[in-house]
Amino acid sequence: MDNTFFKGKLILAPMAGISNSAFREICRDFGADMSVGEMVSAKALWYGDKKSTQLLHTTEAEQPVIPQIFGSDPEIMASSAKKVLELTGAPAIDINMGCPVHKVISGGDGSALMKNPDLIFDIVKAVTGAVDVPVTVKIRAGFEKINAVECALSAESAGAAAITVHGRTRTQMYAPPVNLDIIAQVKEAVGIPVIGNGDVKDGKSAKEMLEKTGCDSIMVGRAALGNPFVFEEIKAYLSGQPYEKPSLSLIMDTARRHVHALVSLKGERIGILEARGQLAWYIRDIRGGAALRAQATKVSTLNEADEFINSIHNK
C-alpha cells in the first residue's frame, strides 16, 4: 500500500468506549471512508489480555479499519503490532501519541510521548521494522508546549506513513478552538500525508480545515456521536451538492440499529449500559431532549430500549 491510501479520506476517529465495530459500521454506511479502532494497550496485548484482544474485533462491512495501539516501550509495541496483524490482517497500524487522559499519560503513554521526540523515533522505528504494513501516528499540537512539527519529523524519519494531528496540546484537552496553524506547519514540514483532526463538526468546518491547513484528509470524532450522518453532510458540502438533514424517523431507526448492534456485540447487560449514552446523543437535538435523556439513562433491557425509541418515533 502506498501513501495515496491515506489521501482524500474522511475518517472516523478512535474514541475509547465508543468507536467499536457497531458504531464504525454505521458510520461507514453514512459516508466514512475508513475508521481507526479504539486504542488498545500494547502491554495488555503483550500479556494476552482477552478484553484488549476483543477490542480488535471488526466486521467485513466496516472495512477498512486501522487498529490503534498505545504504549511507550519500543520492544513491546513492536511485538504487539505483529500480534495485531496476525489477529486482524489490517491494512495499517496506528500508534496513539495523542491521548490526553490521565490514566494513559501517567504511564508515559499517549500524548506524554510528545515530551520525548527521540522515544517517538524509537517506537515508530521498532514498529515499522516489525510489520509489513504502513504505520501511522496520531499526535497533538504538543504536550504543554507546541512541538508537533518536531514530533512529526521524528515519526516520519523513523518510517511513519502518515500523521494525524489534533490541533490542541494535551493541557488544552478539548476546550479552546483547535489550532489550525500548527496542523498547517506539520503539513509544510513533512512529505507524508497529514490528517487534520479537531473541531470538524460539519461541512463548513471541514472545508476550513482543508483550506487553512492543506491537510490531505480529515478525521471526525465527537461530531459523529449520535450523528453518523455528519459524514454524508461533509461530503455533500465539499462537493457542492445539496444535503437534506436526516428525518426523525431516520435518526431513531439508526439509534435502534446501533442499540441492537451493541447488544449483539457485547451481550444485553453491557450492550444496554453502553446504549444509554448512545441514545442520549441521538436525541440531544429533539424537542424535550433533556427529559428524554433522563429516561434514556433508565433503560435496562433491549425491549425497554425499543419501547423508548418507539415512543419518540410515534411523536
User: Taking the domains of the chain in order of start, what are their residue ranges?
Assistant: 3-239, 248-313
User: Is the peptide bond prior to 134 cis by the omega test (within 30 degrees of 0)?
Assistant: no
Q: Please state which of the ranges 198-202, 265-269, 309-313 shows the lowest mean pLDDT.
A: 309-313
Tell me the pTM: 0.93
- Average pLDDT along the chain: 93
Give, to the nearest 10 degrees, the angle between helix 203-213 and helix 180-189: 40
Looking at domain 3-239, its CATH superfamily turns out to be Aldolase class I (3.20.20.70)
Tell me which of 27, 99, 151, 215 is the catalytic residue: 99
Q: CA torsion angle for 52, 57, 62, 65 (degrees, to 10)?
A: 50
Same fold, 3-239 and 248-313: no
User: Which set of grid coordinates corresponds to residue 258?
Assistant: 446501533
User: Which set of grid coordinates corresponds to residue 77?
Assistant: 509495541
Check residue 76 and give its pLDDT.
96
**Angstrom distance (rounded) from CA 100 to CA 205:** 23
pLDDT over 90, % of the chain: 82
Check residue 314 and give its pLDDT.
67
94-119: per-residue pLDDT in tens? 999 999 898 999 999 999 999 999 99
Query: Which residue in 184, 188, 193 sits closest to 164, CA to CA?
Result: 193
Q: What is the mean pLDDT of residues 251-258?
A: 96
In the residue annotation, 99 being an active-site residue is answered as: yes
95: CB partners within 8 A, 6+ apart: 68, 69, 70, 77, 123, 124, 127, 135, 136, 137, 138
Residue in the structure block whose three cell numbers are 471526525: 220
Q: What is the mean pLDDT of residues 158-162?
A: 96
CATH 3.30.559.10 matches 248-313 = no
Angle, alpha carbons 102-110-185 (nearest 5°)? 120
Check residue 172 and give its pLDDT.
76
Q: Are 94 and 68 in contact (CB under 8 A)?
A: yes
Check residue 11 and give its pLDDT.
97
Q: CA torsion angle for 226, 232, 216, 220 (degrees, to 10)?
A: 0
Check residue 287 and give its pLDDT.
79
User: Binning pLDDT at 50, 70 and 90, where does residue 288 land?
Assistant: confident
Is the pLDDT score of 171 beyond 80? no
Q: What is the mean pLDDT of residues 144-160?
A: 96
Check residue 49 and give its pLDDT.
86
Check residue 109 and give its pLDDT.
93
Angle, alpha carbons 47-91-43 (nearest 5°)? 15
Q: What is the mean pLDDT of residues 19-43?
A: 96
